[in-house]
Structure 1
Amino acid sequence: MSTRQGFCTLKGHEDKVFRIAFSPDGQILASGSKDKTIKLWSVYTGKEIHTLKGHLDDVYSVAFSPDGQVLASGGGGNDKTINLWQLTNQKRLTLTGHSDWFGAINSITFSPDGKTFASGSADKTIKLWQTEDGKEIFTFTGHSDDVCSVAISPNGQTLASGSKDKTVKIWQLNTGKILRTLTGFEEKIYSVAFSPDGKTLAIGSGDKNITLLPCN
């Protein structure tokens, strides 16, 4: 039986915490909440460093850029925006483009070089953006239901997306071309992740299983 000795509980949000992410150096933890805020925490002290406010609805996704200088956050259905926060001064750039009656930004992932990032939405699309100025590069279309999770491969060449349409799609990142569509899943796909060496794709689905697939 665990006594939880040595565990630290971070308290401060006023509602559910939907997503958390460590900074690349492991010193900061970001948390996105139903209370419409993002909080930054010191991993070593457990103390709140800052609260970022700007979303008009639940914060469904948070992700750090590879250099740790930018935090991207995605809002829920009444917000539908992505905020790019410069962590040195908390300046915010708000991006719009995803749309639907419930266009929640469910997942965000940065490319390895940090120059671009992708967002997966309940509007059934994935968008690729420039990190520096927030300019939309193009939109990936092909899923027939909410995109729940997106991940860019470690070599920066491909993107994987998991959807409520019970498929996983592998895309060429620089063109948006669908390379493969993985089918045969019995339930919705809620999460996808590449292994650090890029050789394996992990898929988490509503059937309670995790599938590991080789990346050819």
Structure 2
Amino acid sequence: MSEKAIGTCAIGSDDKTIKLWDVETGQEIRTLKGHDGPVRSVNFSPDGKTLVSGSDDKTIKLWDVETGQEIHTLYGHNSLVRSVNFSPDGKTLVSGSWDNTIKLWKVETDSNLLNLDALMGRSCDWVRVYLHNPNSGVREEDRHLCDGIGTKN
């Protein structure tokens, strides 16, 4: 897996490392070590100064691209992290995991902002009454849109 930012390519690997390469010369810049499992996803921040990585070790790591130093590790998934990326402004991270969750993280505080599954559950709790109201005009095949989601089944 790789992404380009300001002439640099990052590649996550099954050997638990991330390699940074100079795309013009083809030379390896450095190897980032810190994950305890294969690295499944890497992406640069919009300004190219920070790299985010997701791994089978259930963690998300932020890296300083210039120095190769680990900035922080984010914990919160219960299974391997399959995908990570920055928001366009670089202030928020999104991560997707095989634990069937998508999480948003605030980069500055390293805090988990929102579990999108919980948001979907709350939304379905609100709309469920409408979906099952026979006078709502909702088609029969759409009435079960929220079945199994949220606190009410």
Q: Please state which band the TM-score falls in when normalised by the shorter chain.
A: 0.7 to 0.9
Give the equivalent residue in structure 1 for 2:35.
98
Give the equivalent residue in structure 2 for 1:161.
95
Q: 1:131 Cα deviation (Å)?
A: 0.8
Q: What does 1:14-93 align with in structure 2 at a 5 Å threshold? A: 61-65=1-5, 67=6, 69-76=7-14, 79-92=15-28, 93=30
Could you list the runs of 5+ residues in structure 1 that have no partner in the other structure?
Answer: 1-60, 186-216
AA of the residue aligned to 2:16:
K
The answer to whether structure 1 residue 109 and structure 2 residue 43 are counterparts is yes
Q: What is the CA–CA distance in structure 2 between the aligned matches of 1:153 and 1:90, rounded to whole Å? A: 28
Q: What is the CA–CA distance in structure 1 between the aligned matches of 2:81 and 2:3, rounded to whole Å? A: 17
The structure 1 segments of at least 4 consecutive aligned residues displaced by more than 3 Å after TM superposition are none
Give the equivalent residue in structure 2 for 1:147.
81
Identity %: 47
Residue range with higher mean Cα deviation, 165-174 or 86-95 = 86-95
Q: What is the CA–CA distance in structure 2 between the aligned matches of 1:109 and 1:176, rounded to whole Å? A: 17
Count, aligned residues: 118
Q: 1:90 Cα deviation (Å)?
A: 2.3
AA of the residue aligned to 1:95:
L
Q: TM-score, normalised by structure 1?
A: 0.53
Give the equivalent residue in structure 2 for 1:4.
none
AA of the residue aligned to 1:72:
A
Give 1 or 2: higher strand fraction.
1
Q: What is the CA–CA distance in structure 2 between the aligned matches of 1:183 and 1:89, rounded to whole Å? A: 44
Q: TM-score, normalised by structure 2?
A: 0.74
Return the match for 1:176 from 85, 110, 115.
110
Q: 1:133 Cα deviation (Å)?
A: 1.5
Could you list the runs of 5+ residues in structure 2 that have no partner in the other structure?
Answer: 121-153
Return the match for 2:52 from 108, 118, 123.
118
Give 1 or 2: higher helix fraction.
2
Secondary structure at 1:123 match in 2 = coil
Q: What is the CA–CA distance in structure 2 between the aligned matches of 1:134 and 1:87, rounded to whole Å? A: 17
Q: What is the CA–CA distance in structure 1 between the aligned matches of 2:35 and 2:107, rounded to whole Å? A: 18
Relative to structure 1, the CA distance from residue 171 to residue 120 in structure 2 (aligned partners, 3 Å threshold; closer, same or farther) is same
Q: 1:91 Cα deviation (Å)?
A: 2.4
Q: 1:136 Cα deviation (Å)?
A: 0.5
Q: 1:115 Cα deviation (Å)?
A: 0.4
